[in-house]
A and B are shown apart, each in its own frame.
Chain A
Amino acid sequence: MRHIISILMENEPGALSRVVGLFAQRGYNIETLTVAPTEDETLSRLTMTTTGDDRKIEQITKQLNKLIEVVKLVDLSEGAHIERELMLIKVKAVGAQRAEIKRTVDIFRGQIVDVTSSVYTIQLTGATDKIEAFIDAIGEGCVLETVRSGVSGIARGEKVLSL
């Protein structure tokens, strides 16, 4: 099963390499990884998605918790949560295709953020399945380039991950 693990860690050089190194060293896979500072400048927030059975995920969270720089950790997939990914996608758009693509972008509530005579650059946010559905809908044949941010997530309701 896919899990979204969200980590608060010390904003120190080397902390990220410990997290990534742990995955490489122990043969866990990282599907997506995002990391950025938080409102508290001593902390950074890292979100990763990974897959594995319950035992593997338990090991992953325990091993992560063992890293001295990891302050707090939550497996968001254990409860109600919101997940989002941002995609920038460049597609071939000529002739009749242009209107068709525009319609699809509207349906997916994306935005065309840059236009040339033959190319649209589209911005889309949503959960991973929505992003993938959009690529399917638009047809892989016309995709020139995609950039995805990886998953960010946050728990629903009052629950917060903080010190």
Chain B
Amino acid sequence: MELLSGGEMLVRALQDSGVEYIYGYPGGSLLHVYDAVYKQSAVKHVLVRHEQAAAHMADGYARATGKPGVVMVTSGPGATNTITGIATAFTDSIPMVVISGQVMSHLVGDDAFQETDMLGVSRPIVKHSFAVKHPEEIPELVAKAFYIASTGRPGPVVIDVPKDMTMPNERFEYKFPKKVKLRSYTPPQRGHSGQIKKAVDLLLGAKRPVIYSGGGVIIDGSSDKLRALVDRLNFPCTNTLMGLGAYPGTGERFLGMLGMHGTYEANMAMHHADVILCIGARFDDRVTNATDKFCPDAKLIHVDVDPSSISKTIVVDVPIVGPVGSVVDEMMSLLDEADTTPDEAAIDSWWKQINEWRQRHGMRYQINENGKMKPQEVVEALWQATKGDAYVTSDVGQHQMFAAQYYKFDKPNRWINSGGLGTMGFGFPAAMGIKMSFPDDMVVCVTGEGSIQMNIQELSTCLQYGIPVKILCLNNGSLGMVRQWQDMNYEGRHSHSYMESLPDFIKLVEAYGHVGIQVTERANLQQALDDAFVKYKNRLVFLDVAVDEEEHVYPMQVPMGSMRDMWLSKTERT
């Protein structure tokens, strides 16, 4: 029998859960736990400079590795500083375990120093949460937290740990459960066979099909299966912002992203489709545009592991609740057995139509040889310089959309962005979380001069741990996406979207001990990128690239319209 204190149990239980990194920040309520962290080396702790960044680092780690990210913060302000990070993970269904310190149990409820009701504050943005009531339950709660966070539709789980649960002199028997079972939680293991059969029949009869897939495919690790299905059927495939990379961005059957800033061909194909297979996506309002005008002719099949995603915003014809991988497996075997095959003539003429739409090419932008660089060309140059093989994180704004549109992701888990919550400040710490786990890969944060300042303090963390991420700042000197909406809807009144007093980013990153490269001329871009990835391979490099502030992101769906209603440029509408 092994006797451990609560603090030691917590750290041991993290080890036993296979944790590699804790991203955290200490404080009064967690000092016993931090002492236990100090006395071991199996789990590495990364000290951030702001707790929000700890949550985003854990999130980036989780998105790239598929394993839950772990955050550890003290009570009160430490805990509340993680809220944006937890909400970001929750919205995108990212597995995360957050350990928050709490004041002594007997002080809870007394408005004690650094007491906040973390369970209450985080309740709407967690998959579940626990409060430790006795030190002996710590191993079991940790095991449950990891199980809940990483199964079914993943999400963040908070464990609130009052300081008296971790006292070094109170020791208890340590038992880590081999298996977790919860009578009230059983994530679905497979879809309903009858429904899958119906879906396959619909697919086989389709004349104008589209496969629309999202982040759920990546989370489930089922991108290969999706690819096999798309290629076998020879159907066009579009990915959501969260799903990019599930189907190869350079693939012939890939239509590009769909939705608000989706490609012309993807949105047109969706609108005119007769059968749509939505897989691991959730008919988000940034995809559907006005729901009453959504894809009027389409029969809809929806595969999702979360039953509450189904028929929430759009009522579908064939709902299938189950993990996407197992459902696709079953679809494939039904296709093997079927005595019919897709209607080749119909699919051929559908492809002809799609290729005509592709000719219209909504994704064009005008390079101004003598003027400022366009953000799009910078992203394309990044794609070239990294051979399309980098991990790319982004913040939120125009730069995010340009990265999504112009960096063609051929692999899943490579495009890491806050799609659901749209959290500025996400990209840099997320990139750090990834780089620590994939030290040999290129990790780039594509950001804006607005977003990067929301977590810029992490430059210090990068120096401490030697995290050589590359930061590509598309500096348009303004809150570009806000400005775009103001141009389009408020007659160009740029209310507070202009950043008047930007820092000298080069001096700033140098002050933090890193390398800064300013790029104002197109002619220097290539060299700057090469230097960032080759010459300064092992350094953090901040590329401050001046881009045209007048540029807008297109296509852009017209508000309240159908999927096919888009602006294609400042003057052209469908």
In the complex, whether A160 has a CB less than 8 A from a CB of chain B is: no
Are A62 and B307 in contact, CB atoms less than 8 angstroms apart? yes
Q: Note all chain A residues with C-beta closer than 8 A to B124.
A: 21, 25
Binds A, one of B179-187, B445-453, B565-573: B179-187
In the complex, whether A97 has a CB less than 8 A from a CB of chain B is: no
Q: Note all chain A residues with C-beta closer than 8 A to B127.
A: 68
Q: Note all chain B residues with C-beta closer than 8 A to A13.
A: 131
Are B311 and A71 in contact, CB atoms less than 8 angstroms apart? no
Are B148 and A66 in contact, CB atoms less than 8 angstroms apart? no
Q: Note all chain B residues with C-beta closer than 8 A to A68.
A: 127-128, 148, 182, 184-185
In the complex, whether A70 has a CB less than 8 A from a CB of chain B is: yes
Are A17 and B306 in contact, CB atoms less than 8 angstroms apart? no
A59-B313 Cα distance, complex, nearest whole Å = 10
Are B306 and A66 in contact, CB atoms less than 8 angstroms apart? yes
In the complex, whether B476 has a CB less than 8 A from a CB of chain A is: no
A49-B311 Cα distance, complex, nearest whole Å = 22
Q: Note all chain A residues with C-beta closer than 8 A to B311.
A: 55, 58
A112-B185 Cα distance, complex, nearest whole Å = 47
> What are the interface flags for A41-60 relative to B under an 8 Å C-beta threshold, 1 for contact and 0 otherwise?
00000000000000100110
Q: Note all chain B residues with C-beta closer than 8 A to A25.
A: 124
Contact of A163 among B123, B148, B183 (CB under 8 A): B183
CB distance from A40 to the nearest CB of B (A): 12
| CB closest chain-A residue, reference B306 | A66
Are A69 and B184 in contact, CB atoms less than 8 angstroms apart? yes
Interchain pairs with CB closer than 8 A, number:
36
| CB closest chain-A residue, reference B120 | A17
Q: Note all chain A residues with C-beta closer than 8 A to B230.
A: none
How many residues does chain A have at the interface if contact means C-beta atoms less than 8 Å apart?
20
Contact of B131 among A9, A14, A59 (CB under 8 A): A14
* Contact A18:B315 (CB < 8 A) given known A63-B308, A68-B128: no
CB distance from A68 to the nearest CB of B (A): 4
- Identify which of A21, A62, A163 gathers the most chain B CB atoms within 10 Å of its CB: A62
Q: Note all chain B residues with C-beta closer than 8 A to A66.
A: 306-308
In the complex, whether B129 has a CB less than 8 A from a CB of chain A is: yes
CB distance from A48 to the nearest CB of B (A): 18
In the complex, whether A85 has a CB less than 8 A from a CB of chain B is: no
In the complex, whether B83 has a CB less than 8 A from a CB of chain A is: no
| CB closest chain-B residue, reference A15 | B184
CB distance from B291 to the nearest CB of A (A): 12
A62-B182 Cα distance, complex, nearest whole Å = 18
Q: Note all chain B residues with C-beta closer than 8 A to A21.
A: 123-124
A70-B128 Cα distance, complex, nearest whole Å = 12
Chain B residues within CB distance 8 Å of chain A:
119-120, 123-124, 127-129, 131, 148, 182-185, 306-308, 311-312, 315
Chain A residues within CB distance 8 Å of chain B:
9-10, 13-14, 17-18, 21, 25, 55, 58-59, 62-63, 65-66, 68-71, 163
Q: Return the 6 tightest CB-CB contacts between A and B, nearest first.
A: A62-B308, A71-B184, A68-B128, A25-B124, A62-B307, A68-B185
A-B pairs with beta carbons under 8 Å apart, 14 shown: A10-B184, A14-B129, A17-B120, A17-B123, A21-B124, A62-B307, A65-B307, A66-B306, A66-B307, A68-B127, A69-B184, A70-B184, A71-B183, A71-B184
